[in-house]
Chain A
Amino acid sequence: MPLDASSFIGNLSFFAGFSAASGKTLAMKAALAYIRSVGMRVAILCAGYEGEGKGSGVGGTNVELWEGEIFSTAAGVVDRLDCEPTILAGALGSSALGPIVLVRAGRRGNGILVGPSESSALAALADEAMRAQYPHHTVLVDGTLDRISPISALPNAQLFCTVRIDRSNLLQVAQRMADMYRRAHLPLWNEGVLMHNAPIVLDGPLSRMILEDYAIQKNVAFIVKDFTHIFLKPQEISSLVEQNRLFVQKEIDFRGYIVALCDVDEEECGANLPAEVLASILSWNPYEGEEMNGACLEGLKEGHHA
């Protein structure tokens, strides 16, 4: 299903990517434009903030806000914002730029997106944002760098994964897309699953070290909270899944990929992806101005299935 306003309205959407500059913020801004185009308002949050990395002297993502929109920012920058900010909640976690606050824009103007690094604070922020929009909420969360784990703390969030593909990273990114797709579709645990041995229910992450700790218990299955708690290589995950030994307690609603192609055409990219991964691509470029894009994508998917 291609991207449009209905993809986001009424939902909490989390944008994640495999790396920096994968197009998370641009995709989120494109979503913002879709939502505004149908006259709706939105809450925009951020996990961490842009420029958080080592040696960075600046921070925050600039975003243009419309009247009534809600966003997260740092207390230290609120009085510099020209959107007539009203503080709705705070302090909800912290950042290097100061405590995080939830703000409503009183008019059109610029905002600086800053969010908490801690997942629990992000969840509290999302909760306040939804409360402030009651009874109908639309929340967009700009993830930071390659961290997907914050989505685990967000209630009923849908995940959009952004990737930027060029000729140099095509094969590598295609593999990562397939891997992510597999992780996002791990079998859900239920009591009806028959096991020879009692499964291991993990509160924390499933890592290689954990696998080795339980190596003596042959064929034991592992149940993790959700796929963001798995830190294994793709081959290790495949092996566990094939042996019916890996389950998740909670499914994360993976909506699909938002791709930005650079010097690579759709056919070439699609040829490197499994059919189900190709089918999960929602957009080849949310900033594409060519009218043929949507039709091209649908045609490509049909060809692949055939």
Chain B
Amino acid sequence: MLSRIAPLSPYGRDHIAEVGFITEAEALELLYDDIEAAGTLLAALGDIRRDRLFWHLGKLPRIPQVDDAAQYGLLELFLFKKFLLHYKNICDLVDEVSRDRFGLAFESADLLGMLSAGSRDAESFAISEGHEPRLGAIRARIAEADHTVARHMQALEAACREAYGFDFAGREFIVVSTDRALAAVEKGRGGSCPSLAAEPYDTRSMIVRIVPGAALLSAEEQRRRAREEERILEREAIIRLSSLVTAASAALAQYCSAIKRFDYALAQWKLTQQYHMVRPSLTKGAARDIHDMEAAHNGRAPAGGETPHISCRAARLIPLEEECASRAVLYKPLDFSLDKPVGILSGSNMGGKTCVLQTLVFLQVLAQCGMFVPATYFETPVFQWIDVVGEAGETAARGLSAYGFEIRRLIDVLRAVRSAPGLAVFDEFAHTTSADEAEALMKALVEHMASFSGTICLFATHIQCSPLKSKGRAFRMAGLDAEHARATIDSGEANGEETLDALLARINSLMRYRVVPSDESKRVPDSDALVIARLLGLDAELVDRAEELFRLRARHGTPCKRRMIQSGEEH
């Protein structure tokens, strides 16, 4: 999402590089307040003033680093002037409340006035008589010399046309036949016509130039001397202006800082409008500051305190929503609420478990980066860390199996959970090991994680697992609409010969992507996985046989499903 934030100034863009995971509620609330303040300001400005504000922000240049020893050139002074001009206009456009909030004060009218002295237009910059009055007389002398030079050149060109038939037409030289060139040079030596210089161009023609006369050379020399005087005065003016800029270094630094914050907040507000985002509601007390935790640290974080609570309505995982749109598939936002330390989410393959976890993590990360979130409501604590265990993409490089990598990651999480409250997310934990061992490990992990206060753990798993009622909640994805799935299969439409997009669209239309409490569900379907396999076009005989075996084992109570017994408290 960071790449979608589009500040208009280089300083606002700098802010994006500084965005990080924030663990202090106050700092986050301040950033949220900034975004809201930006929105309030834009709403009050009206279209025309808003466009002007954006235009000035877009025109702000990055100014050079100001230091005491700096000696600036024309470009640097131009940049300071341009920055101050647009910054002042920005300050003039915003209301007092916004000026106070973002520190948009302009106190450099004198400096801007000095830099603008004698300018022909607002933004450009030149050393003028406004900066150095003595330049006036010198520049008048140069203009006079220029006039003399131009007059002489015109006279010489006219004389050449008349005497030799050569039309220079403002060109530095012309190319003529050797015979004509030599004749003209010879004629010029007589003194009655302009002198010419010639040099060979090729074997049959020559390059011919006008030789300037003494009057012209004299005018050029006068100009050169005046220019030298002018250069010295310009240098003095530059030094004076540089020292004025240096004296204003503190104010300039403050302006840059204010613009950085203001422009970034405006860009964030535009993002919230574009993606229909809302301000997160941060719950207090559940996940305390890491330093408070350390004070009470005794191997484990202390029990007690307020119960952490995550709740969202119509939450959207923007990249997935966009992918669905590109595939013309309906995207279903997430409603979810967890008021216990542990949440366990089960459900069929392709039922959306992982997307639920991704959505919650997406929202939490945005919220803790000081951003609004794509939802109609999001309430959450401020965690000290977020960790997701479940992707084993780097296992080969690390020389570990997928399982080994997961265990290493789990050790990291346990280390973190002992030091401070956080959000731990496990996607299909231990799914690569044997069913019985995975079940045992999962049970132990759920028990263990439930004993930490302030931390929230979310599990997506195929293992049926019920945590302690006081410490967790079990959910499942609503899964396939069995009736419609059966109708689709019976119709013979699912023959596996469609494109992957078409197959996915069909499964999507049959899947109920919503989270329901596990205990409220009427009946766990026999096997959505086998129905999905059939929908995807797997050989019917193979699926028939698999279903037969599945029902047989279920009847005989064979531990086909990974089932966890309830924990000791409920016994």
Check B170–A78 contact: CB distance below 8 A. Answer: no
Q: How far is the CB of A98 from chain B (nearest CB, A)?
A: 8
B176 is an interface residue with CB less than 8 A from chain A:
yes
In contact, A84 and B74 (Cβ under 8 angstroms): no
- Measured CB to CB, the nearest residue on chain B to A100 is B75
Contact A84 B175 (CB under 8 A): no
With A29-B171, A263-B203 given, is the CB distance from A289 to B176 under 8 Å?
yes
A251 CB, min distance to chain B CBs, angstroms: 32
Q: Are B79 and A107 in contact (CB under 8 A)?
A: no
Q: Of B98-106, B119-127, B358-366, B536-544, which stretch is located at the interface?
A: B119-127
A259 to B179 Cα, complex, angstroms: 23
Evaluate contact between A287 and B73: CB separation under 8 angstroms.
no
By a CB distance below 8 angstroms, the chain B residues around A104 are 124
* Complexed CA–CA distance, A75 and B73 (Å): 8
A37, A84, A85: which has the most chain B beta carbons within 10 Å?
Answer: A84
Q: Mark A232-262, 1 if CB is under 8 A from B, else 0.
A: 0000000000000000000000000000011
One of B29-37, B161-169, B311-319, B369-377 contacting the partner: B161-169
Docked complex Cα distance between A101 and B79 (Å): 11
Asked if residues B171 and A30 are in contact (CB atoms below 8 Å), the reply is yes
Assembly CA distance A166 to B208 (angstroms):
20
User: Which residues of B in the span 118-141 have a Cβ within 8 Å of any Cβ on A?
Assistant: 119-120, 123-126, 139
Q: Which residues of A contact B165 (CB under 8 A)?
A: 291
B150 close to A (CB within 8 Å): yes
B145 to chain A, nearest CB (A): 10
Q: Is the interface of A mostly helix, strand, loop or mixed?
A: mixed
Determine whether B21 belongs to the interface, using a CB cutoff of 8 Å to chain A.
no
A30 to B207: give the CA distance in the assembly, Å: 15
> Does B227 make an interface contact (CB < 8 A)?
yes
B177 touches A290 (CB 8 A): yes
- A155 an interface residue at 8 Å Cβ cutoff? no
B172 in complex: contacting residue of A29, A79, A288, A291, CB < 8 Å = A29
Q: Is the CB of A87 within 8 A of B150?
A: no
Number of A-B contacts (CB under 8 A): 89
Name the A residues within 8 Å of B139 (CB-CB): 84, 107
Q: What distance in Å separates the Cβ of A108 from its nearest Cβ neighbour in chain B?
A: 5
Instruction: Give, as a whole number of angstroms, the nearest-CB distance from A169 to chain B.
Output: 13
B202 within 8 A of A: yes
Q: Give chain A residues whose Cβ lies under 8 Å from the Cβ of B146.
A: 107-109
**Is A99 engaged at the interface, CB distance under 8 Å to the other chain?**
yes
Q: Is A88 an interface residue (CB 8 A)?
A: yes
* Distance to closest chain A CB from B426 (angstroms): 41
B331 at the A/B interface (Cβ < 8 Å)?
Answer: no
**B234 interface residue (CB < 8 Å to A):** yes
Find the A residue at minimum CB distance from B139. Answer: A84
Contact with B along A24-36 (1 / 0, CB 8 A): 0000011011101
Contacts of B74 in A (CB 8 A): 75, 78-79, 85, 87, 101
Chain B residues whose C-beta falls within 8 Å of the C-beta of A108 in the assembled complex:
146, 149-150
Give complex CA distance A263, B231 in Å: 46
Contacting pair B176 A84 (CB below 8 A) = no
Return the CB mask of B344-388 against A: 1 if under 8 Å, else 0. 000000000000000000000000000000000000000000000
**Does B60 touch A at the CB level, under 8 Å?**
no
- How far is A22 from B171 in the complex, measured between Cα atoms in Å? 18
Q: How far is the CA of A185 from the CA of B298 in the complex (A)?
A: 80
Instruction: Determine if B266 is an interface residue (Cβ-Cβ < 8 Å).
Output: no
Q: List 5 A-B contacts (CB under 8 A).
A: A30-B171, A79-B231, A91-B75, A286-B171, A289-B208
B residues near A (Cβ < 8 Å) are 73-75, 78-79, 119-120, 123-126, 139, 142-143, 146, 149-150, 165-167, 169-177, 180, 201-204, 207-208, 227, 231, 234-235, 238
Query: What 4 pairs across the A-B complex have the smallest Cβ distances?
Result: A289-B174, A75-B75, A86-B126, A33-B170
Known A90-B75, A289-B176; 19 more pairs at CB < 8 Å? A34-B169, A85-B74, A86-B124, A86-B125, A90-B78, A91-B75, A101-B74, A104-B124, A109-B146, A166-B202, A261-B202, A262-B201, A286-B171, A287-B171, A287-B173, A287-B174, A289-B167, A289-B208, A291-B165
